[in-house]
Structure 1
Amino acid sequence: MRLRVEFTTEPFDLDEAPAHAVVAREVIEAADLDAVDVGPFGNTAEGGADAVLSALGDVLRRTLGAGATRISLQVNVVEEGER
């Protein structure tokens, strides 16, 4: 099964990326995922279910530890041929 995850961490800072946003980017870019898109207001990644769920666990633990006060996420099953 393939999954696509979209998530944001808060609070936002428009002047400088907060520590929790930097940590989220580092975790998601280091994970064994493909189709990674990291942006200022949200992040998207896709991959096998085990890789996505493992990365999400790391994102949640590490961003909360780095000062995130809210993490919003959506996980979708990616159908064959969909991208």
Structure 2
Amino acid sequence: MYDEMREFVIGALEEMSFPTDDLADDSLLGPDDLGMDSLAFAEVIVQVEERYDVRFGQDEAGGPTDISLASFVERLVKSVEIAKAEAA
């Protein structure tokens, strides 16, 4: 699921006009690097919720600042897996 989620997140970032050509797993997403702020993170999380038909708690998916693409994707994958398990 990691690869699928990674591609989804990159697609969402592209739709929001963030530069993704040089985006690597260790690229930091926060305001000082890629330029994501808390609103951009929230938008990606909402898109993940809609795509995977899950709802995250306030702290489940994490927040912005100095998080790498890989860490953000791993956190989203874990949150989706937990949400689906709880719904079953």
- TM-score category (smaller protein): 0.3 to 0.5
Q: TM-score, normalised by structure 2?
A: 0.38
Which one has more relative contact order, counting CA pairs under 8 Å at least 6 apart? 1
Larger helix fraction of residues: 2
Larger strand fraction of residues: 1
Q: TM-score, normalised by structure 1?
A: 0.40
